[in-house]
Amino acid sequence: MRREYVRYTDNLPIHISLSDIREYPIHWHNALEIIFVLKGSIYLNIEAGTYKVKAEQIEMVNADEAHRIYSDEENLVLILQINPSFFDKYYADMKNMFFYADTSEENIQNTEEYIILKQFVAILLLESIKKRENYQEFINKTLIDLLYHLINHFHYLMYEKEELKDDEEQLQRYHRIVKYIYNNFKNKISLQEIAEKEYLSSHYLSYKIKNTVGISFNEFLNLTRVEEAIKLLLDTDKTLTEISQELGFSHIRYFNKYFKKHYKMTPKEYRKKYKKTEEELKEIKKVKEYSTDLSLDYLKDYLAEYSRYNIEEEIIKIDLNLSDEGKKLDKNYLEKLYFGNFHYLLIEDIFKNLKSIQELLNFKYLIIKDCFKNRNYRLFEEGVKKLKVLDLTPYIIISKDEEDIFLSNIDSILENFSSEEVEKWIFEYDKSLDDRIKFSNRSIIYDDKINDIYNTEYMLPYTFKNFMNDDFYMQALDFKEELFSGEYGVLSYQGVKKPSYYSMYFASLLGDKIISKGENHILTCNDEDYQILIFNEGKENVNKEIHFFLNIENLIDDYRVIKYQVDEKSGSSYRIWRSMGKSKKLKDEEIQLIEYMSFPKVDIKHAKKSNVFPINFKMFGSGATMIIFKKVQKAPY
């Protein structure tokens, strides 16, 4: 039997195989077949045409098209078969849709539409092999994207007539005409009949059909009939007369005439040559199958930009005992916040952004500098009053250049602010702040060069490995107007929260006592609540998925468990900005959209009293997860 039935696996609408094909006799199946030659070359006979497909080229066989594959050299052929009923859910006219590829020239498939098509095939292959989390969802999404890419770039009428791509009305008209022929070729149909349906003259329609598909209406109708004849000749025992009548020919001699024109032999000769028993077909078929894993190396260039490619997977198990004794956690990291040039305080938008930080994190001191450089004491006084509104105490850096000006204004400071108030201020005289704010890890240094590290999720694990040092503090804001300028503030100039903002927010949620601290975790408590901070330092240029397994021992009550997560896939305003094209100038609504989309991933669940309560989750690349156990206050009744 020449009609094959594709076996789809894992409840997915695709089947992928990798083979060296020397002879695959004529067959057909109800599946769209995308053939990607990875090595060598093959000849593909599709109904009345034969095409040579070389390495790095793709060809397509539509559902129920009779085709044969053969080759006289070593080859590797990746075949992706797609169940058309999957596409039916998204495109109503799928059964009348056909796709063609062009393999006629050496570099003809180096264009963008072919590269994207190959990327889709590579992604489907990767997901079906690796079977990572949610792989079925990613396969279905990729198939939908593939469908519309095929419709927009490989539509059979666009293949015949490129200019139809830009003429939707004409494209739909000729699609209706071809569809009508395909669905009615077994009946007696005429050009006049179709012309009346389209409100066109038969002469004009005849000209346009030949101009669009390359042959006349009668030739196209009879070609459709003889191509269908192959299935009846090879897969039934019907007589030639019966086949001729079934296909709509008025006489068997017309059947013979048109069949011979396209296949260079009569239907009788064709049947004699190609009709075989099942045993004979097995003997003829020369196909050596390989594991599809081998094809990934051939397609790695098409996967370079795919986020789920080259993922390293790691499992980290952490045991946490809530009954262990804790010791006091000094939250010095919430003492000081670095601001920089004092005069920025007088800019209303910047002050508003500083206010949003302070309302959430409640720092004690704001480190400011250049307070006296412009010799205008009144501006200094105005700025300090603004700090009082935020309940922030000045931490003033005085440079050598400001020494005389500062000394000349001491009396004015004491006149306008009480001595008790000024005594709380901190003055750091004649020291270089630059030396105080240098970081050591990953070339993070205080300079004017753009360093994307300050924009990324790496700042979370960096913060949690260093924030308990006495001299650690963060910078409040970026002062360059680009959304992500490479500065090291926790907020951008526009007030967008960078991942480093959430590092300080997570740190502020920690309890008053620290129970344990490890390479990837900090466990704290206050009163009857617990806080677990999990963090991971990813590697540059490596997509790493870390699966954390936490065993929470001695959970003595019921708790509400709230989990916040920021990593390379969630909560990163920088990643979202990059996905939007990295524009330096964004509209207000685009900035608001980034703000909305970059909130940490949040999950809430209930944990019952237990000896060991398990929590497991995945983190992608650099990032951190804050887990809060809040004791459930039970009703008295």
- For 223-261, the pLDDT digits (tens) are 888 888 888 999 899 999 999 999 888 889 989 998 998
In a domain, 542, yes or no: no
Q: Which residue has the tokens 């859910």?
A: 89
Query: Which stretch of 116-120, 196-200, 401-405, 538-542 has the lowest confidence by average pLDDT?
Result: 538-542
In a domain, 3, yes or no: no
Beta bridge mates, 555: 610
User: Stretch 202-211: mean pLDDT, rounded?
Assistant: 80
β-bridge pairing 41-46 and 49-54: antiparallel
Q: Please, what is the average pLDDT of the chain?
A: 85
Model confidence at 288: pLDDT above 90: yes
* Helix, strand, coil in percent for the chain, rounding step 5: 40, 25, 35
Per-residue pLDDT of 577-621, as tens digits, reads 888 888 877 888 888 898 888 899 999 999 999 999 999 998 888
Number of alpha carbons in the 13 Å side-chain half-sphere of residue 102: 20
Look at residue 84 and give its three-state secondary structure.
helix
User: Stretch 25-37: mean pLDDT, rounded?
Assistant: 93
Instruction: Give the total number of structural domains in the chain.
Output: 1
Per-residue pLDDT of 63-77, as tens digits, reads 888 999 999 999 999
Look at residue 519 and give its three-state secondary structure.
coil
Model confidence at 436: pLDDT above 60: no
In a domain, 282, yes or no: yes
In a domain, 618, yes or no: no
Its domain, for residue 96, covers 14-188+214-290
Beta bridge mates, 37: 77
- Alpha-carbon distance 519 to 288, whole Å? 50
User: Stretch 542-549: mean pLDDT, rounded?
Assistant: 80
Residue 10 banded pLDDT, cuts 50, 70, 90? confident
In a domain, 245, yes or no: yes
Tell me, what amino acid is at 263? Y
Residue 483 banded pLDDT, cuts 50, 70, 90? confident
Find, among 543, 522, 525, the residue nearest to 318 by Cα.
522
Number of alpha carbons in the 13 Å side-chain half-sphere of residue 312: 10
Share of the chain above pLDDT 90, in %: 40
In a domain, 123, yes or no: yes
111-122 CB burial, b ≥16 within 10 A, e <16: eeebeebbbbbb
In a domain, 110, yes or no: yes
**Distant-in-sequence, close-in-space partners of 53: CB < 8 Å, separation ≥ 6:** 35, 37, 41, 42, 43, 44, 59, 103
Answer for the pair 474, 463: CB distance below 8 angstroms, yes or no. Answer: yes
Is the pTM above the cut of 0.85?
Answer: no
pLDDT value of position 455: 83
In a domain, 113, yes or no: yes
Beta bridge mates, 545: 313, 620
Residue 262 banded pLDDT, cuts 50, 70, 90? confident
> Alpha carbon 180 to chain centroid distance?
40
Find, among 72, 80, 169, 171, the residue nearest to 127 by Cα.
80
- Alpha-carbon distance 576 to 578, whole Å? 5
β-bridge pairing 32-39 and 41-46: unpaired
Share of the chain above pLDDT 70, in %: 92
What's the CATH code of the domain at 173? 2.60.120.10
Query: Which stretch of 192-206, 222-236, 268-282, 610-624 has the lowest confidence by average pLDDT?
Result: 192-206
Burial class (CB in 10 A: 0-12, 13-18, 19+), 107: exposed
Per-residue pLDDT of 298-338, as tens digits, reads 999 999 888 788 777 788 999 999 988 889 988 888 888 99
- Alpha-carbon distance 412 to 415, whole Å? 5
Answer for the pair 51, 316: CB distance below 8 angstroms, yes or no. Answer: no
